[in-house]
């Protein structure tokens, strides 16, 4: 029996695995054994340490429901999941190397939709020279879910951690945090984006992990993380374990021209989205003032980088404060919390 | 507001992560950065290659529904998931080293049930000197699910693969494949196990990954895998890529005394369960006849190992055959297939 557009149930697990294997490029010499045995065998580089992270993305919660979407959109969601993971390796200032991809799939999905998802995953990894060395496929009665484990390499003790910030450090950020939240807000509320501001939705749908930027910033920064839960929530993670605080300067907060257009159009404050729960995958870091000239010189020597913004300073007293010309306002942390923010699912069910 | 037995929704993601961190033992020196940063940093042993595997277990499909079960049972299911993963590393003849644990959890579960699950996971890993270096927690509207990535170390080129079997090799197996399937069958059909045969259910609920056995067998075997889908399906994976076949000898198939008692009690053939879809996590391997004496000597020098059984021979012609005194019967492969065997879920929903 043949099917013109078979479902997973019709093709079966082993048939799907065969199709997915066709999407994988040839493995480099560091991979002794790739997909297809009980485990992969991979040769690390002598003298390097491994950075390891995993992330899980649930349909309808971390990304929009795929059923009924175009294959191009589904492929984009595969790419997006990869960049979410790459961003964690980028923020350690490590070099991404290998990945394992776990998929839990409802049996009624079409094979071509899963192939599109996987194509997006593999193409994004290939761009960063990451080899998919293994994975797992299972069926589920719940939402489609994928779980990516990513391994990178870094010179031991040169990984940049969340700890290490000092009072007086400047707080820097790549790109425009909040753009992703603004794009998502308009999409979910079905508010048409004003002409010329489409990049806000792209910030949500097509984030770019700042891998080369992280590697470049490493020698100059004290601490680094990526913005995945919201600027303030992630900043809080850089202010430990010393119970440090931060002053952010209203006028120094990044404001993308599209964001200015949108917030004017919505008649809302221009930084309405800057602190929101946000999937920007930009880098957030602290650096001593004396390091900044060399940092900027190295950074802007890289091709195609987003602008750096210095948005505030690390303080000795805990708490986050927003400073304007004359006023200082305490900031309440906003961000994403899994079990309690369930109502902020992408497409509530 | 306090709750005597809070749910995940009441405690929140960050509260749960704090509780889970308490369950982790101190990290060894190879872990530069453990749980709590954007990624872990782990130092591999110079000269070793990494073996990498991941596996996903879905509640109600790969293990029984946890809601309403005792905390001891839930803990056991955490232990079981770890052994499922360890088994893949064991069958490569590698030494398990680090793990990342991803959990997708329904918000209405109690914190204590998730702590029990995690305790089972951590205790099992600790027994094998595996460090949990990272993980991920998310909420899901679907079934509880966990996804474990496990890294091991092996001397390059000494990993034992599925490929490498030669015609004339003997086929060996540890322990008693089929016991797990028999125990599960009785449990699902609510058939009371005859007195003294309770180990059959233990084979399902409390498998033991054959890690030290795999390391010991490595120098003697041509190819190795573990039995997770069923003896015949997994044996087929050792008969590639040369299109080899196998003859299995009826009289040499392992028959545990409890299995004999059960099948007599059920009035079924004594090997009724031997070839069934099965979660035995025993090792299955091929070895040249001349290696067997030294293999057995090394193997039985290990403490607390299950008996080895030599069940058949690799043949040049493809296909599986069951040989009796006078007859030869072609065997049809039985085993587990995710999208098509959904009806064999543990607790159909």
Q: Which of B154, B185, B207 is the last residue of a domain?
A: B154
Q: Which two tokens stand for residue B216?
A: 């010991």
Q: Within this chain, do residues B246 and B128 fall inside the same structural domain, yes or no?
A: no
The C-alpha atoms of residue B285 and residue B122 are separated, in whole angstroms, by 29
The C-alpha atoms of residue A16 and residue B93 are separated, in whole angstroms, by 28
Burial class for A162, CB neighbours closer than 10 Å (0-12, 13-18, 19+) = buried
Q: Within a domain: residue A13? A: yes
Q: Which of B154, B184, B211 is the last residue of a domain?
A: B154
Q: Which helix (H) or strand (E) holds A154?
A: strand A145-154
Q: Within this chain, do residues B112 and B210 fall inside the same structural domain, yes or no?
A: no
**Is A76 in the B-facing interface, judged by CB distances under 8 Å?**
no
Q: Within a domain: residue B219? A: yes
Question: How far from A219 is each of A172, A216, B335, CA to CA, in Å?
Answer: 14, 7, 54
- Give the pLDDT of residue B4: 77
Instruction: Name chain B contacts of A340, Cβ cutoff 8 Å.
Output: 9, 12-13
State the Cα torsion B315-B319-B325-B326 to the nearest 10°: -110
Mean pLDDT across B57-62: 90
Q: Which helix (H) or strand (E) holds A17?
A: helix A13-23
**Segment A294-324, tens digit of pLDDT:** 999 999 999 999 999 999 999 999 899 999 9
Q: Are strands B131-139 and A170-174 parallel, antiparallel or unpaired?
A: unpaired
Length of chain A: 349
The C-alpha atoms of residue A169 and residue A68 are separated, in whole angstroms, by 48
- Give the pLDDT of residue B340: 62
- Model confidence at A348, pLDDT cuts 50, 70, 90, reads very low
The C-alpha atoms of residue B21 and residue B36 are separated, in whole angstroms, by 9
Counting one residue from A and one from B, how many pairs have CB atoms under 8 Å apart? 246
Q: Which two tokens stand for residue B60?
A: 């109600």
B258/chain A closest Cα distance in angstroms? 30
Instruction: Name chain B contacts of A47, Cβ cutoff 8 Å.
Output: 46
Within 13 A of A269's CA, how many CA atoms are on the CB side? 10
In this structure, are residues B149 and B199 in contact, taking their beta carbons and an 8 Å threshold? no
Q: Within this chain, do residues A91 and A37 fall inside the same structural domain, yes or no?
A: yes
The C-alpha atoms of residue B194 and residue B221 are separated, in whole angstroms, by 37
Q: Within this chain, do residues B197 and B125 fall inside the same structural domain, yes or no?
A: no
Q: Within this chain, do residues B266 and B299 fall inside the same structural domain, yes or no?
A: yes
Q: Number of structural domains, chain B?
A: 2
Which CATH number covers residue A82?
Answer: 3.30.1330.10
Within 13 A of A191's CA, how many CA atoms are on the CB side? 16
Q: What share of chain A is helix, strand, coil (3-state, %, to 5)?
A: 30, 25, 45
Q: Within this chain, do residues A138 and A193 fall inside the same structural domain, yes or no?
A: no
Q: Within a domain: residue B346? A: no
Q: Within a domain: residue B164? A: no
Which CATH number covers residue B241?
Answer: 3.90.650.10
Mean pLDDT across B53-76: 93
Higher pLDDT, B3 or A111: A111
The C-alpha atoms of residue B88 and residue B142 are separated, in whole angstroms, by 27
Please, what is the angle between helix B179-188 and helix B257-266, to 10°?
Answer: 40
Share of chain A above pLDDT 90, in %: 78
Q: Within this chain, do residues A144 and A181 fall inside the same structural domain, yes or no?
A: no
Which alpha helices (DSSP H) does chain B contain, by range? 8-11, 13-22, 71-90, 111-127, 179-188, 199-205, 211-217, 231-236, 257-266, 292-300
**Segment A140-176, tens digit of pLDDT:** 999 999 999 999 999 988 899 999 999 999 999 999 9
Q: Within this chain, do residues A135 and A272 fall inside the same structural domain, yes or no?
A: no
How high does pLDDT run on average in chain B?
91
**Is B91 in the A-facing interface, judged by CB distances under 8 Å?**
yes
- Cβ-proximal residues to A297 (8 Å cutoff; 6+ apart), any chain: none
Smallest Cβ distance to A92: which of B39, B147, B151?
B39
Interface list for B 280-339 with A (CB within 8 A): 337-339
Q: Within a domain: residue A100? A: yes
**Segment B162-196, tens digit of pLDDT:** 999 999 999 999 999 999 999 999 998 999 999 99
Q: Within a domain: residue B36? A: no
Q: Within a domain: residue B180? A: yes
- Give the pLDDT of residue A67: 87
Instruction: Name chain B contacts of A338, Cβ cutoff 8 Å.
Output: 12-13, 137-139
**Segment B328-344, tens digit of pLDDT:** 999 887 666 666 654 34
Q: Within this chain, do residues A213 and A73 fall inside the same structural domain, yes or no?
A: no
Q: Within this chain, do residues B52 and B85 fall inside the same structural domain, yes or no?
A: yes
Q: Give the angle subtended at the CA of B332 by the CAs of B80 and B218, to the nearest 5°.
A: 50
**Segment B119-169, tens digit of pLDDT:** 999 999 999 999 999 999 999 999 999 999 999 999 988 899 999 999 999
Q: Which residue has the tokens 């951690």?
A: A161
Q: Within a domain: residue B349? A: no
Share of chain B above pLDDT 70, in %: 95
Q: Within this chain, do residues A121 and A177 fall inside the same structural domain, yes or no?
A: no
B73/chain A closest Cα distance in angstroms? 22
ipTM: 0.91
Q: What are phi and psi of A34, to 5 degrees?
A: -100, -150
What 3-state class would DSSP assign to A96?
strand
Question: How far from B137 is each of B14, B63, B113, B120, CA to CA, in Å?
Answer: 10, 19, 15, 17
How high does pLDDT run on average in chain A?
91
Instruction: Name chain B contacts of A165, Cβ cutoff 8 Å.
Output: none
The C-alpha atoms of residue A199 and residue A176 are separated, in whole angstroms, by 11
The C-alpha atoms of residue A333 and residue B49 are separated, in whole angstroms, by 44
Within 13 A of B295's CA, how many CA atoms are on the CB side? 25
Q: Within this chain, do residues A182 and A259 fall inside the same structural domain, yes or no?
A: yes
Q: Which of B154, B179, B202 is the last residue of a domain?
A: B154
Range of the domain at A134: 8-154
């Amino acid at each position: 029996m043949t099917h013109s557009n078979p479902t997973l149930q019709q093709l079966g697990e082993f048939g799907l695995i065969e199709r997915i294997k066709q999407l994988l490029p040839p493995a480099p010499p560091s991979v002794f054994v790739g997909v297809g045995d009980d485990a992969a065998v991979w040769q690390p580089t002598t003298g390097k340490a491994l950075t390891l992270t995993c992330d899980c993305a649930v349909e309808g919660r971390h990304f929009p429901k795929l059923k009924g979407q175009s294959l191009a959109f589904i492929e984009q969601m595969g790419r997006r999941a990869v960049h979410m993971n790459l961003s964690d390796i980028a923020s350690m200032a490590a070099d991404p190397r290998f990945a394992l991809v776990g998929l839990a799939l409802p049996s009624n999905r079409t094979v071509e939709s899963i192939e599109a998802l996987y194509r997006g995953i593999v193409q994004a990894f290939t761009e960063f020279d990451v080899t998919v060395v293994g994975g797992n496929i299972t069926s589920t009665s719940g939402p489609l879910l994928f779980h990516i484990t990513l391994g990178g390499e870094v010179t031991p003790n040169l990984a940049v951690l969340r700890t290490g910030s000092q009072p007086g450090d400047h707080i820097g950020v790549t790109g425009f945090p909040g753009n992703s939240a603004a794009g998502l807000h308009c999409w979910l509320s079905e508010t048409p984006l004003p002409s010329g501001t489409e990049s806000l939705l792209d910030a949500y749908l097509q984030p770019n992990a700042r891998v080369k930027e992280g590697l470049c910033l490493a020698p100059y920064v004290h601490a680094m993380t990526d913005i995945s839960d919201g600027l303030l929530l992630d900043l809080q993670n850089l202010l430990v374990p010393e119970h440090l605080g931060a002053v952010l300067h209203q006028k120094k907060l990044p404001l993308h021209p599209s964001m200015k257009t949108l917030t004017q159009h919505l008649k809302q404050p221009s930084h309405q989205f800057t602190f929101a729960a946000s999937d920007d995958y930009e880098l957030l870091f602290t650096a001593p003032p004396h390091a900044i000239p060399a940092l900027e010189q190295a950074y802007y020597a890289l091709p195609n980088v987003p602008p750096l913004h210095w948005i505030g300073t690390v303080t000795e007293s805990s708490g986050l404060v927003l400073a304007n010309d004359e006023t200082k306002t305490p900031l309440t942390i906003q961000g994403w919390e899994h079990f309690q923010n369930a109502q902020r699912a992408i497409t509530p069910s």
